[in-house]
Amino acid sequence: MIKAIRGTRDLLPPDTALWNFVEKTVREVFSAYNFHEIRTPLFESTELFARGVGEETDIVAKEMYTWEDRGRAESDKGQSLTLRPENTAGVVRAYIEHNLQARGLNKLYYIGPQFRRERPQKGRYRQFYQIGAEVIGPATSGSESPVRDAELLEMLATLLDRLGIKDYCLELNSIGCAADRARYNEALRLALEPVKDKMCGDCQRRAVTNPLRVFDCKVPEDQPTIETLPRIGQFLDEPCRQHFAQVQEILRAVGVEFQLNDRLVRGLDYYTRTAFEFTHGALGAQNAILGGGRYDGLSESLGGPAAPGIGFAIGEDRLVMSLGKSPEEVLRKPDAYIAPLGAGMNNEAARLARELRQHDIVVELGDASFRLKKSFEVATKTGANYILIVGENEVKANTFSLKNLATGEQKSIPRDQLPGAIQS
């Protein structure tokens, strides 16, 4: 038997109803904030991710699905291609390629699969789905403003509320600008120097290559040492301090709760200022539903114009897990099951089904080869509200018997009154 590749999975009905519910709500909420959808390719040049995500990240160093193109054309041959491990790099590439800066402030969102060769476990897949948004534009469009950060965070809180997710927590930090971080990195390096030999292998490496990443360490024995390290908050310059204060002020004004977490950092140079995560207790070890932050330097690091931006990526797999809903709660069951009875009745049943569906009624169509008993069994199994019998007499009279499957109540209804009777 050929099976799905380890770390990938099929999403089957009725579970897909939960995914559809999430995506429909996302589209409704995001459009109320004037965000518009962007779709970028599932694969891009490897170089885009090397530069846009960062060579020294785990994603680029270990987790990408990369291959060399075997194309015949000289221009394709030997090109290194990669399945996208995230979508921000693709969006910023598109921003540069299509000169979206001419549009001013761009508010873009995407929904789609991402690919990382991670060790599969609960809440961690090799093909997983992200819902993300990016606000990006020239500084003159207000893309740097704390208004944008706060709006994005408030939109996320609204989305989680609308999805009925409770007990989530917004964790917030500012990682300052490149100059703040250069000073902070130096201080971290100094502080780590005398203690790093007692830390885990990863931290010893990080202390040299990228000290900020020490805060990613999950090894319990290292935590007391990490607690003693200086925090980025002490190194913010005045504009960064004020920017962060204003983000918090707006969040308080609109009533979005948050917790400051000065261990929340992002290790790449183009990340700036606001960094955040929404976590949820029900998810266990992989408790982050989403993460995001400002990346005022990303466009330039991809060879584009200066384009401050802020964005996030929600793990849709984890969002669906934290919904706490069953598919039945969001699933639309058939309103009516049409049971053709007797020879030649398939045509009549199909005609009636077509009419009813044009009234936005969900119809499951039976088959005249089924006996009446079997039609009732199948109708009950689909969860339909009504069964509608289509036999020769009914067609002649143009009046059909409609039976409520829950109450057993049965009525004769003229054809033109059927939509009303089924919907009432």
> Using CB under 6 A as the criterion, which residues of the chain lie in contact with ligand AMP when the complex forms?
86, 116, 118, 123-125, 128, 130, 288-291, 313, 315, 317-318
Nearer of residues 165 and 313 to ligand AMP, judged by Cβ: 313
The distance of closest approach from Cβ of residue 395 to ligand AMP in the complex, given in angstroms and rounded to an integer, is 53
- Residue 358: strand, helix, or coil: coil
The distance of closest approach from Cβ of residue 41 to ligand AMP in the complex, given in angstroms and rounded to an integer, is 18
Cα separation, 232 vs 30, whole angstroms: 32
The distance of closest approach from Cβ of residue 210 to ligand AMP in the complex, given in angstroms and rounded to an integer, is 16
Contact 173, 167 (CB under 8 A): no
What residues are paired with 278 via a beta bridge? Answer: 170, 290
DSSP 8-state secondary structure symbol assigned to residue 313? E
The distance of closest approach from Cβ of residue 223 to ligand AMP in the complex, given in angstroms and rounded to an integer, is 21
The distance of closest approach from Cβ of residue 218 to ligand AMP in the complex, given in angstroms and rounded to an integer, is 15
- Residue 370: strand, helix, or coil: coil
- Residue 130: strand, helix, or coil: strand
Helices (H), 255-305: 298-301
Q: Which of 321, 413, 422, 333 is nearest to 381 (CA)?
A: 333
Nearer of residues 60 and 395 to ligand AMP, judged by Cβ: 60
Torsional sign, CA 212, 216, 217, 220? positive
The distance of closest approach from Cβ of residue 317 to ligand AMP in the complex, given in angstroms and rounded to an integer, is 5
* Residue 352 host element (H or E): helix 345-357
Pairing assessment for the beta strands 127-136 and 80-83 based on DSSP bridges:
unpaired
Nearer of residues 291 and 383 to ligand AMP, judged by Cβ: 291
Contact 385, 405 (CB under 8 A): yes
Contact 289, 318 (CB under 8 A): yes
The distance of closest approach from Cβ of residue 6 to ligand AMP in the complex, given in angstroms and rounded to an integer, is 13
One-letter amino acid identity for 270?
A: Y
Contact 422, 385 (CB under 8 A): yes
In what order do the strands lie in the sheet containing 80-83?
A: 43-45, 80-83, 66-68
Nearer of residues 29 and 402 to ligand AMP, judged by Cβ: 29
Nearer of residues 59 and 195 to ligand AMP, judged by Cβ: 59
Nearer of residues 89 and 330 to ligand AMP, judged by Cβ: 89
CA angle (254 as vertex; 252, 256 as ends), nearest 5 = 65
Closest chain position to ligand AMP (CB): 315
Contact 96, 81 (CB under 8 A): no
Nearer of residues 256 and 290 to ligand AMP, judged by Cβ: 290
Q: Show Cβ contacts of residue 398 under 8 Å, excluding neighbours closer than 6 positions.
A: 414, 415
Contact 230, 186 (CB under 8 A): no
Nearer of residues 70 and 119 to ligand AMP, judged by Cβ: 119
Q: Is 87 left (phi over 0), alpha (psi -120 to 50) or beta?
A: alpha
The distance of closest approach from Cβ of residue 88 to ligand AMP in the complex, given in angstroms and rounded to an integer, is 8
The distance of closest approach from Cβ of residue 126 to ligand AMP in the complex, given in angstroms and rounded to an integer, is 7
Nearer of residues 85 and 297 to ligand AMP, judged by Cβ: 85
The distance of closest approach from Cβ of residue 286 to ligand AMP in the complex, given in angstroms and rounded to an integer, is 7
Nearer of residues 317 and 394 to ligand AMP, judged by Cβ: 317
Nearer of residues 118 and 269 to ligand AMP, judged by Cβ: 118
Torsional sign, CA 331, 335, 341, 344? negative
The distance of closest approach from Cβ of residue 8 to ligand AMP in the complex, given in angstroms and rounded to an integer, is 11
Cα separation, 56 vs 59, whole angstroms: 8
